[in-house]
Amino acid sequence: MWTFTSKLPRGVRRLFRLAHTPERALRDIDEEIRNHIELRVAELRARGMSEADAEREALRRFGDTEEFRAWSTRRALRRSRKYAVIEWFADLTQDIGFALRQFRKTPSFTAIAVLTLALGIGANTAIFSVVHHLLLEPLPYPNGNRIVTPMLEDDNGLRTSANRDLVLAWRERTHTIESFAAAVQVNFSIDAEGNVDMTPNARITSSFLPLLGVRPALGRGFTPEEEYPRAHVAMISYERWQREYGGRPDVLGKKVDLDLDTYTIVGVAPAGLAVPMSSNPAPEIWIPMSLDGVGTASSNVPSAFGLLRRDASADAASRELQTIAASLPETAQKRPHVSAMRAQDFLSTRETRSIQVLFAAVGGLLLIACANVANLLLARAAARRRELAVRVALGAGRWRLARQMLTESVLLALAGGILGIAVAWETLKIIVALRPPALEHLAVVRIDPAVLAWSAIISVATGIIFGCFPALVAGARKAVDVLRSETRTGSGGPASRRTRSVLIVVEIAMSLVLLVGAGLLVRSFVELQRMPLGYEPRGLVYTSTILGNRSVKAEVPAMRDAVIERLRSLPGVTGVAVGTLPGEGFTGRGLETEPDASGMPTRIEALSTVFMTPDYFQVAGMHLVAGRLPDPNAMTAEWKEQTLALSPEIVVNQELAKRLWPDGNAIGKRVRQSQGAEGTTPPAPPGMKPYNPWVTVVGVVNDTRMPTLHGDLRWLQVYSLAPPRFGVLPFLIRTQMHGPNVTGMMERAIASADRRIVVRPALSGDVYLRDSLAPTEFAMALLTAFAIIALVLAAVGLYGVIAYSVNQRTREIGVRVALGADPRAVMGLVLGSGIRLAVAGVVMGATAAAGATRVLRSMLYGVGPGDPWTFVVIGVVVGGVAILASWVPARLALRVEPVEALREL
Amino acid sequence: MPRDANDLLHGTLDLLVLKALSWEPMHGYGLSKWIEERTNDELEIADSALYKSLYRLDDAGAISSEWGVSENNRRAKYYSLTARGRQMLRSETATWKRYVAAVSGVLETA
């Protein structure tokens, strides 16, 4: 009965662009209604009505036409929207299916593309997890990003915690900080018998857990009433609960001993709880304290923490706290600089900069990977021109083709992203293994949901970025032109060729920038290792010990002699002294000179003091430049009773001598421990009289430094004999033995001298040296690795482009050879195009690098950011690799058999 | 589920359309003639309401449409019942009968 049906096979509607547009639907309805009215009129007229009457009657019977039209329009719009979504999904399914078939057909292309992207995305994800962990969300607590600790900074950049009066004043007046908490970490305690308990513990205010935004895993935290007078209640760490109580809930109500006291366990802290921004081991026992620190027996200064209001920034808080501090009479004249520091602010500029540079580097690496895959896709798109042309001829829109291309590239990128997470996992292991001591907490860096979200985002973004090139090229082409110009071996069209050349030049340039950066860091590293240190760290082993508390003070001299005896008898040991490594001295007390002619003393606050025995310099490998060693016989009876007082005769290093007595004569001058700006005597240890006599400088020793980037920074050092009853003693030995066992040997020897001695882990000079070099090595190793990957990718990309063009020009080359062209000329032809790209890339890269390496300045030592040697060497290497990458395919051109090539015509 | 008056009216018309199409596929005009004949023109349904009902049922998947050629040699849309429409017709008929019985019961006893 009807001839034409609307029941079309699937896909035909799309093929013929019979979209469900609202206009079409409304036209259909119009036709249907017109037909209806006509039939009605015909029928009425057949019943004998006049034409005009019949029309009027038909319209009347139809009803409200206006209302009907409005209703139909609404419906048509609704339907078209619905169909648009359905079609979009149908198209997507079709595109994905098509893309997967394409990938199956070209497995090697797919594998190379996915691997390249996995490298780029993996490196990016790994570094992002570092950035996320260190710079974005360094504290693993719900309120982590709003936690600050107010620090006072003096003119020398020395940071100290705020005292209790200041914290109380802040709490009173602040509008930027929601709440305050305080914590004191205590790493060991000594009981009346001199036994040392190494259980790390902490005192916290009741506001501590709420401030972090965490709750006890079991039981409760502390109440404000328990702060002062301190209630004998405690929380134990989750880890201790698991280890010692097997995670049983009946732990609540049990007793725990600490510091001569017994506490009742009322709660279990959440897993992993530690004092924020502290590098100390996580406390195992938590007991209460009050914010003003009253009743805190420990002499440690509490760290104060503030929770920023949601609408306040750390900078705003710093300004406000500064203003409040300046208004207090007792702090006003000191004019300290207050900063509300977040965890990430504790990283040095250099550490932050290394992370930023690495992040930028992996960004560059990812772009290179993108460019490479874009090139692969462009080459493939050229090979698929016929297929694309046929699809255009059959009615596929350009947008549809572009979308198909984009679907393919996003799918590739997602596959690369998934594999990239595996790459990131492995890369992170390497990063964690290489981590410098300053970035110790990198050990717990992990791939968390935020990091996964990041890799998903960059995967899709890269898919779109590199997919754009072939999509644009595919979309821009007219089907007719393609079909008309179609020959057996198309060259991909000038636009596509140009795009590929530009991409390659950018790749080469970018890898050159990365390599120059890496090269500068390598040079810095070499320079650092050559730096004269002023002492010989190789062969030194150092450890600090606690010989016991006040109760065993009388025994300390004997214990010390016993330790020295044991150490001397160790095999391979050539020297034993009391003292730290030169850079590990005791900081905290300054020096002041006797008033000079103008009646003013010279004061220096930021210096470090090494307590030692006279043979220290010889063991460390230092030498006196003037004067003599301090004489142990000059000891006074009063001094012998002290623990942290300077000996009657001391030695200073050259830099300190120069600062205190610029006229050059330090020997015989008198100094004493600084009275501080406000004229107070340094606090005496509990139970002792303040003691701060004038002491005489008898010698000047050479300067020492650490092999860090701040090597030019001069240390100010005081060397004093260690008082005989000084119970916290460092020991230094020089040994001919090497290897990891020397530290254990030293620790065991000391422990065997007296069982009461607590020995800290020993540190060998080699490890110390390595740790000092670690931050530079860390940045250098990673940047070099990324730069080399970048260069390899760029070389592979260049190889691909040249090889492809040789392949495309087989016929041309065949004709040339057949006509008698010199093979070398043919090779030069091919090589020439590669060299042009290489040179353009090197020039562009060198220009970019000249600007970009300036950000490295704070990470360099002994070499400038524009170091010409580095630029020349890297330029030659990159150029060489690029030429090699085009030489290989150029040789293929020579093997073209003219007959073969011509037959293809 | 409670219904409002509008639903009820639409429901009645939809039921008639479903019933008509259960006989054979027909176009809109044929459908209006069919209903006029069966109801002796007692209802005098506006054609626009009929078409709305058709489109509504089409959207609901109860009927499907195909272009064909009408008696006057014009392109016309022919509507036929789908499996879903047949099922809807059965259940709606039952509902209608209960409804009529309920309303009649009220009218006769009150």
Q: How confident is the model at residue A333 (pLDDT cuts 50, 70, 90)?
A: low
Q: Say if CB A184 and CB A302 are below 8 A apart.
A: yes
Residues 6+ apart with CB under 8 A from B4: none
User: What is the span of the domain harbouring residue A658?
Assistant: 540-737
Q: What are the tens digits of pLDDT across the range A365-375?
A: 988 888 888 88
Cα nearest neighbour of A7 on chain B: B66
Domain count, chain A: 4
Residues of B in contact with A5 (CB under 8 A): 66-67
Instruction: Output the pLDDT for position B2.
Output: 55
Cα nearest neighbour of B71 on chain A: A39
Provide the percentage of residues in chain A whose pLDDT is more than 90: 17
The encoded tokens of residue B96 equal 């209608």
Per mean pLDDT, which range of A85-94, A123-132, A552-561 is the poorest? A552-561
Provide the percentage of residues in chain A whose pLDDT is more than 70: 87
Residues 6+ apart with CB under 8 A from A900: A814
Q: Do residues A509 and A565 share a domain?
A: no
- Is A699's pLDDT higher than 90? yes
In one-letter notation, the amino acid at residue A524 is S
Which residue of A18, A24, A30, A32 is the best one to mutate when testing the B interface, meaning the one whose CB has the most B CBs within 10 A? A32
Is residue A137 one of the residues assigned to a domain? no
Q: How confident is the model at residue A94 (pLDDT cuts 50, 70, 90)?
A: confident
Decide if A35 and B75 are in contact by the 8 Å CB cutoff: yes
Decide if A39 and B59 are in contact by the 8 Å CB cutoff: no
- Is A184's pLDDT higher than 60? yes
Per mean pLDDT, which range of A142-156, A389-403, B7-21, B27-41 is the poorest? A389-403
Q: How confident is the model at residue A890 (pLDDT cuts 50, 70, 90)?
A: confident
β-strand partners of A732: A542, A577
Q: pTM of the prediction? A: 0.71
Decide if A62 and B76 are in contact by the 8 Å CB cutoff: no
Instruction: Output the pLDDT for position A728.
Output: 78
Decide if B49 and A63 are in contact by the 8 Å CB cutoff: yes
Instruction: Output the pLDDT for position A295.
Output: 47
The sign of the torsion formed by the CA atoms of A615, A619, A620, A621 equals positive
Residues of B in contact with A7 (CB under 8 A): 66
Q: What are the tens digits of pLDDT across the range A480-495?
A: 565 555 444 445 566 6
Q: Say if CB A117 and CB A420 are below 8 A apart.
A: yes
Most confident of A660-664, B87-91, B96-100: B87-91
- Going from the C-alpha of A218 to that of each of A207, A275, A500, A790, the distances in angstroms are 17, 19, 63, 51
Strands (E), B2-105: 26-27, 63-69, 75-81
Q: Do residues A507 and A576 share a domain?
A: no
Is residue A375 one of the residues assigned to a domain? yes
**Which position has the higher pLDDT, A28 or B72?**
A28
- Is A688's pLDDT higher than 70? no
Instruction: Output the pLDDT for position A21.
Output: 73
Instruction: Output the pLDDT for position A444.
Output: 74
B5-104 belongs to CATH 3.40.47.10: no
Decide if B75 and A75 are in contact by the 8 Å CB cutoff: no
Between A29, A32, A72, which is nearest B76 by CB?
A: A32
- Cα-to-chain-centroid distance, residue A129: 7
Q: State the distance between the two ends of chain B, measured CA to CA, in whole angstroms.
A: 25
- Is A569's pLDDT higher than 60? yes
In angstroms, the CA A9 to CA A16 distance is 12
- Going from the C-alpha of A191 to that of each of A188, A448, A550, A552, A574, the distances in angstroms are 10, 43, 10, 11, 36
In chain B, where are the structural domains located?
A: 5-104
Q: How confident is the model at residue A623 (pLDDT cuts 50, 70, 90)?
A: very high
Residue B107: phi and psi, rounded to 5, are -65, -40
Decide if A62 and B46 are in contact by the 8 Å CB cutoff: yes
Is residue A642 one of the residues assigned to a domain? yes
Residues 6+ apart with CB under 8 A from A746: A541, A543, A567, A570, A731, A733, A762
- Is A101's pLDDT higher than 60? yes
- Is A460's pLDDT higher than 70? yes
In angstroms, the CA A196 to CA A756 distance is 8
Q: Do residues A700 and A600 share a domain?
A: yes
Q: How many other CB atoms are found less than 10 A from the CB of residue A596?
A: 10
Q: State the distance between the two ends of chain A, measured CA to CA, in whole angstroms.
A: 56
Q: Do residues A854 and A779 share a domain?
A: yes
Between B28, B46, B69, which is nearest A2 by CB?
A: B69
Given CB atoms, is A27 within the 8 Å cutoff of chain B? no
Is residue A763 one of the residues assigned to a domain? no
Instruction: Output the pLDDT for position A299.
Output: 52
Q: Do residues A802 and A891 share a domain?
A: yes
Instruction: Output the pLDDT for position A11.
Output: 52
Instruction: Output the pLDDT for position A663.
Output: 83
Most confident of A296-310, A639-653, B13-27: B13-27
Distance from CA of A139 to the nearest CA of B (A): 54
The encoded tokens of residue A225 equal 């009433």
Instruction: Output the pLDDT for position A335.
Output: 65
Q: Say if CB A886 and CB A835 are below 8 A apart.
A: yes
What's the whole-number mean pLDDT along residues A733-739? 87
Q: How confident is the model at residue A4 (pLDDT cuts 50, 70, 90)?
A: very low
Given CB atoms, is A5 within the 8 Å cutoff of chain B? yes
Q: Do residues A72 and A174 share a domain?
A: no
Per-residue 3-state assignment (H helix, E strand, C coil) for A463-524: HHHHHHHHHHHHHHCCHHHHHHHCCCCCCCHHHHHHHHHHHHHHHHHHHHHHHHHHHHHHHH
Residues of B in contact with A59 (CB under 8 A): none
Q: Do residues A521 and A545 share a domain?
A: no
To 10 degrees, what angle do helices A107-131 and A349-383 make? 160
Q: Do residues A667 and A560 share a domain?
A: yes
Place of tokens 């090889």: A803
Q: What are the tens digits of pLDDT across the range A659-679?
A: 888 887 889 988 888 754 444
In angstroms, the CA A808 to CA A816 distance is 14
β-strand partners of A556: none
ipTM topping 0.90: no
Q: What are the tens digits of pLDDT across the range A62-91?
A: 888 888 989 988 988 888 888 888 888 888
Is residue A117 one of the residues assigned to a domain? no
Q: Please report which residue ranges of A49-106 form alpha helices under DSSP H.
A: 51-62, 65-105
Decide if B69 and A68 are in contact by the 8 Å CB cutoff: no
| Torsion region of A820: left, alpha or beta (phi above 0 gives left; psi -120 to 50 gives alpha) | left
Cα nearest neighbour of B74 on chain A: A35
Decide if B78 and A65 are in contact by the 8 Å CB cutoff: no
Instruction: Output the pLDDT for position A588.
Output: 62
Between B28, B67, B74, which is nearest A6 by CB?
A: B67
Please provide the DSSP assignment of A823-859 as one string. HHHHHHHHHHHHHHHHHHHHHHHHHHHHHHGGGGGGG
Q: How confident is the model at residue A307 (pLDDT cuts 50, 70, 90)?
A: very high
Residues of A in contact with B47 (CB under 8 A): 36, 40, 61-63
- Is A646's pLDDT higher than 70? yes
What's the whole-number mean pLDDT along residues A511-537? 88
Is residue A790 one of the residues assigned to a domain? yes
Q: What are the tens digits of pLDDT across the range A868-878?
A: 999 999 999 99
Residues of B in contact with A61 (CB under 8 A): 44, 46-47
Most confident of A276-280, A550-554, A558-562: A558-562
- Is A418's pLDDT higher than 70? yes
Q: Do residues A566 and A705 share a domain?
A: yes
Q: Do residues A295 and A230 share a domain?
A: yes
Residues of A in contact with B34 (CB under 8 A): none
Q: Say if CB A624 and CB A703 are below 8 A apart.
A: no
Listed residues A97, A118, A153: the one ending a domain: A97
Establish how many alpha carbons lie within 13 A of residue A184's alpha carbon, considering only the half-sphere containing its beta carbon. Answer: 22
Q: Do residues A306 and A210 share a domain?
A: yes
In angstroms, the CA A170 to CA A173 distance is 5
Most confident of A182-196, A370-384, A424-438, A742-756: A742-756
Given CB atoms, is A63 within the 8 Å cutoff of chain B? yes
Q: Say if CB A233 and CB A266 are below 8 A apart.
A: yes
Cα nearest neighbour of A71 on chain B: B52
Distance from CA of A37 to the nearest CA of B (A): 8
Residues within 8 A of A (CB atoms), B 51-110 only: 51-52, 55, 59, 65-72, 74-78
- Is A194's pLDDT higher than 60? no
Q: How confident is the model at residue A711 (pLDDT cuts 50, 70, 90)?
A: low
- Is A1's pLDDT higher than 50? no
Given CB atoms, is A4 within the 8 Å cutoff of chain B? yes
**Which position has the higher pLDDT, A535 or B74?**
A535
Please provide the DSSP assignment of A697-717 as one string. EEEEE-----SSTTTTSPP-E
The three-class DSSP label of residue A560 is: helix
